[in-house]
A and B are shown apart, each in its own frame.
Chain A
Amino acid sequence: GESVGLHLPTLSVQEGDNSIINCAYSNSASDYFIWYKQESGKGPQFIIDIRSNMDKRQGQRVTVLLNKTVKHLSLQIAATQPGDSAVYFCAENDSSYKLIFGSGTRLLVRP
């Protein structure tokens, strides 16, 4: 079946460095993608989204890149801070109402 996956289960970065979290998706019909952040003991929080008619979208310190050719999605966090430590999920949505989540990547920020 169609699925969303992540390349790296755990990413450790130095405080102040940039982080890149990757995600592969397999449903070529997916037209909407979201990144969520989940801190320990909390529900997932929306970070940024992107539609398939775009290849890049920027937020505050975050950038999402979409490469439809290779079905790849990435989340870039600039100047990573301790508060960025969390599990990050990508999710995809096709024309149905179902959102399919990846298994998550844990980001650890070293002081």
Chain B
Amino acid sequence: EAQVTQNPRYLITVTGKKLTVTCSQNMNHEYMSWYRQDPGLGLRQIYYSMNVEVTDKGDVPEGYKVSRKEKRNFPLILESPSPNQTSLYFCASRYNTGELFFGEGSRLTVL
């Protein structure tokens, strides 16, 4: 089944404790992206990747890092999480054009 898988789905952590949210897709998509979704603000892009070893900032990259060492994986790294990073995070992928396929979301709470 074609899908985007992200883990963990739910996480509660404390300020400053590094965490990684993994994302994997099995559709051989070149393009992958991370979004955060907050009430009233919709989906905002954090980082995206056009292909392996190619990443770029989205609209709200501050406080986040990504890597794209393999085509299927695109982890989101929070080196020192802060409470304003409490949000619902979505990973998505697609071929270089066309519809985006989304994961089921990762709800992160930073205390």
Q: Which residues of A contact B (CB under 8 A)?
A: 32, 34, 36, 41-46, 49, 89, 91, 93, 97-99, 101-104
Contacts and interface: CB of A to CB of B under 8 A. Distances in A.
A49 B48 CA distance: 21
A41 B41 CA distance: 17
A50 B67 CA distance: 32
A43 B104 contact: yes
Given A43-B90, A99-B100, A89 B42 contact: yes
The 6 tightest CB contacts between A and B, nearest first, are A43-B102, A103-B42, A101-B43, A46-B99, A44-B102, A43-B104
Given A43-B90, A97-B48, A34 B99 contact: yes
A99 B31 CA distance: 12
Interface in B34-49: 40-43, 45, 48
B17 to A, nearest CB: 25
19 contacts: A32-B97, A36-B102, A42-B104, A42-B105, A43-B103, A43-B104, A44-B90, A44-B100, A46-B99, A46-B100, A49-B98, A89-B42, A91-B100, A93-B97, A97-B31, A97-B48, A98-B58, A101-B42, A103-B41
Given A34-B100, A91-B100, A101-B43, 16 more contacts: A32-B97, A34-B99, A43-B92, A43-B105, A44-B100, A45-B102, A49-B98, A49-B99, A93-B97, A97-B48, A97-B50, A97-B96, A98-B45, A98-B58, A99-B45, A103-B41
Interface size class of B (residues with CB under 8 A): 20 to 34
Contacts of B64: none
A22 to B, nearest CB: 16
Contacts of A103: 40-42
A43 B45 CA distance: 15
A91 B101 CA distance: 13
B43 A89 contact: yes
A45 B41 CA distance: 19
Contacts of A49: 98-99
Which has the most chain B C-beta neighbours within 10 Å: A97, A103, A104?
A: A97
